[in-house]
Chain A
Amino acid sequence: MSKNSLGDYLRRFSVPLMFLLICAVCAPISGLSPSYLANEIVTRMGRNAFLILSLLIPIMAGMGLNFSMTLGAMAGEIGLILVCDWQIVGIPGMVLAMIISIPISALLGLFCGKVLNMAKGREMITSYIISFFINGIYQLVVLYLMGPVIPIKHGTIKLPRGYGVRNTVSLLSMRQKLDNLIPLTIAGVKIPVATFIIVFLLCLVIIWFRKTKLGQDMRAVGQDMEVARDAGIDVERTRIISMVLSTVFAGIGMIIYLQNMGNIATYSSHSQIGMFCIAALLVGGASVDKASIGNVFLGIILFHTMFIVAPKAGTVITGDSMIGEYFRVFVSYAVITVALIMYETNKRKNKSKESQQLALSQEEEVNG
Chain B
Amino acid sequence: MDKSKKKVLIYRIIALVVLVLIATAMFIIGRGHTVYFDNKPLEYGGKTIDEVPYKIDVLVNGEKVASIKEGERGMVDTMGQNFNMQLLVTKEKDGKTSKIQVGLPLPYNMDGIILNLPAMLAGLPQDAYISEFIPTPSAAELEDEEVVTDETEGLMDFGE
Contact = CB atoms under 8 A, between A and B. Distances in A.
Interface string B134-160: 000100011111011101000000000
A267 B151 CA distance: 9
Interface in A332-365: none
A3 interface: no
Contact of A92 (B29, B77, B111, B147): B29
Interface stretch (B19-27, B46-54, B114-122): B19-27
A139 interface: yes
Given A102-B19, A143-B149, A267-B148, A92 B30 contact: yes
Interface residues of B, number: 24
Given A90-B79, A160-B145, A99 B32 contact: no
A180 interface: no
Contact of A88 (B22, B32, B148): B32
Contacts of A91: 30
A133 to B, nearest CB: 14
B26 A99 contact: yes
Contacts of A156: 141
B145 A88 contact: no
B91 interface: no
Nearest to A88: B30
A161 B137 CA distance: 13
A39 interface: no
Contact of B142 (A96, A102, A160): A160
B153 to A, nearest CB: 11
B31 interface: yes
A155 B141 contact: yes
Contact of A159 (B111, B145, B148, B149): B145
B19 A173 contact: no
Contact of A139 (B27, B143, B149): B149
A161 B144 contact: yes
Contacts of B29: 92
Interface in A250-266: none
Interface in B18-74: 19, 22-23, 25-27, 29-33
B58 to A, nearest CB: 20
22 contacts: A86-B31, A88-B30, A88-B31, A88-B32, A89-B30, A89-B32, A90-B79, A92-B27, A93-B30, A93-B32, A95-B26, A95-B30, A99-B19, A102-B19, A143-B147, A155-B137, A160-B144, A166-B145, A167-B145, A167-B148, A173-B77, A268-B151
Given A88-B31, A93-B26, 10 more contacts: A86-B31, A89-B30, A89-B31, A92-B27, A92-B30, A159-B147, A160-B142, A166-B145, A173-B32, A173-B77
